[in-house]
Copies of this chain bind each other. A is one copy, B any other.
Amino acid sequence: MSDIAPPVAALIEEFAKLPGVGLKTAQRLTFFILRSPTDQARRLAEAIMRVKESIVYCSRCFNITETDPCPICSNANRERDVICVVEEPLDVLALEKTGVYKGLYHVLHGALSPMNGIGRKDLRIDELLTRLQDDAIHEIILATNPGFEGDYTASFIKNEIKGSVRNANLRVTSLARGLPIGGDLEYADEGTLSRALEGRRDL
């Protein structure tokens, strides 16, 4: 980066630290900022700082929130006997958009991954088990991502529940696997197609 003004080099460097942003993209973003109105650039800079200053994790479900407990945990109209366990806050967003689920959540903040050194202490698993000791919980939906790490995490949690949770009423479920809506059968991978066959239903 010889001959480039230091503030420009610094911004390229910072942008390049973002996930999925290589050097070329970081350059493009930097020159976009250079050309955009100062107001727009300031809004981005302020939004970054505001997120760091005002967002905390909910002490119950560990979703991101401005208030603790979060709006979902403190909403009296949600079904309080079911907890949906997800890997990331974005998963909560995706489920909320469906409008179908009315229960509570628990955000693990990742999936178990021995390969990447992510163990149970890195996730909010113990906090989940504590929540499940409450007899009022009747169902836990393990909605981790379909795939090796997500499935491993779900079966790990299921075993932990069996081993340590004294809650006779608790039903452990997972999301259905099968063909995605709008997906094309001929392009479905073998795993998806096998699960779609296994889970077939009478019409």
CB contacts (< 8 Å) of A197 on chain B: these are none
A194 to B117, CA, bound (A): 54
The number of residues on chain A lying at the interface, defined by a beta carbon within 8 Å of a beta carbon of chain B, is 54
Least Cβ–Cβ distance between A83 and chain B, in angstroms: 16
Q: Which of chain B's residues has its CB closest to A49's CB? A: B45
Distance between A200 CB and nearest chain B CB, rounded to angstroms = 31
- A interface, over-half SS: helix
A168 contacts partner chain B, Cβ-Cβ < 8 Å = no
Contacts A5-B66, A19-B28, A66-B6 known; A14 to B52 CB distance under 8 Å?
Answer: no
A3 is an interface residue with CB less than 8 A from chain B: yes
Shortest beta-carbon distance from A10 to chain B in Å = 5
Chain B's closest residue to A46 (CB) is B45
Contacts known (A7-B55, A49-B41); A29 close to B19, Cβ less than 8 A: yes
Q: Is the CB of B44 within 8 A of A48?
A: yes
Q: A8-B55, A11-B48 are in contact. List 10 more A-B contacts (CB 8 A).
A: A3-B92, A4-B93, A5-B66, A8-B51, A8-B64, A10-B50, A13-B47, A17-B40, A38-B52, A42-B49
